[in-house]
Structure 1
Amino acid sequence: MEIYGFDKEVGTHISKFNSDFIISRIIKTTMPAHIGCMHLEASGIIGYHQAVVPQLVVIVNGEGWVRGEGDTNIFVKKGDVVFWKKGEWHETTTDMGLTAIVIESEELNPSSLMTLKVNN
């Protein structure tokens, strides 16, 4: 499991076309990707299972805990991105609730655009 950040502080300022914003790039793929939004209510859980394909979970609201194949839970919050490799066992839980965008594709290389925060 790897954890990346997409906070404003790691983004790039864009001024092209008279723009004024910061973009925090997450992923670029050339192969098909499935993108969805997961809504976990208070005490929600995505049960312990193997990733069918490489998977990014982009936390856009709330906070919770993730774990990989060990028993160690790692705290995650809005602004964190969790990456699991194909076949990696993992689980996500939350006490207060959590909303995340999930990106699944055979071709995901998050380290090409984001800075690693935690590698477990």
Structure 2
Amino acid sequence: MEFYKFNKDIGKKISKYNSDFIMSRIIQTNKTTNIGTMYLDKNGIVGYHHAAVPQLLLILNGEGYVRNEKDEYFKVESGDAVFWEKDEWHETKTEIGLTGIVIESEELTPALFMPLKK
């Protein structure tokens, strides 16, 4: 399990074409990629399971806790990204609610675009 940041602070200001915004790059793939939004309500949980393919969870809002095989929970919040390798066991839970984007693909290398969370 690895933790990354994709918040505004690590983004790049874009001004081309009279634009005015900040872009935080996340991932690039050449293989089939599944992307979905995950909504966990208060006390929601994604039960303990193995990742069928590499998975990247981007926390958009709320906060929660994640773990892998070690049974130690780590707090995650808006702007955090959690990466699990293929076959890695993991779980996500929240007390207050959490919304995230899940990216699944055989070809995920988040370290190419995002810095590790310190």
For normalisation by structure 1, the TM-score amounts to 0.96
Mapping for residues 1-120 of structure 1, pairs under 5 Å: 1-117=1-117
Q: What percent of counterpart residues are identical? A: 59
- Residue 98 of structure 1, CA deviation: 0.3
- Alignment partners' CA distance in 2, 1:116 and 1:110: 9
- Alignment partners' CA distance in 1, 2:52 and 2:71: 21
Opposite residue 90 of structure 1, the aligned amino acid is: H
> What secondary structure is seen at the aligned counterpart in 1 of 2:25?
coil
4+ residue stretches of structure 1 with deviation over 3 A? Answer: none
- Residue 69 of structure 1, CA deviation: 1.1
Aligned residue pair count: 118
- Residue 71 of structure 1, CA deviation: 1.5
Gaps of 5+ in 1: none
For normalisation by structure 2, the TM-score amounts to 0.98
Provide, for residues 13-51 of structure 1, a one-character-per-residue CA deviation record: whole Å limited to 9, x for no partner.
111111111000110001110000010000000000100
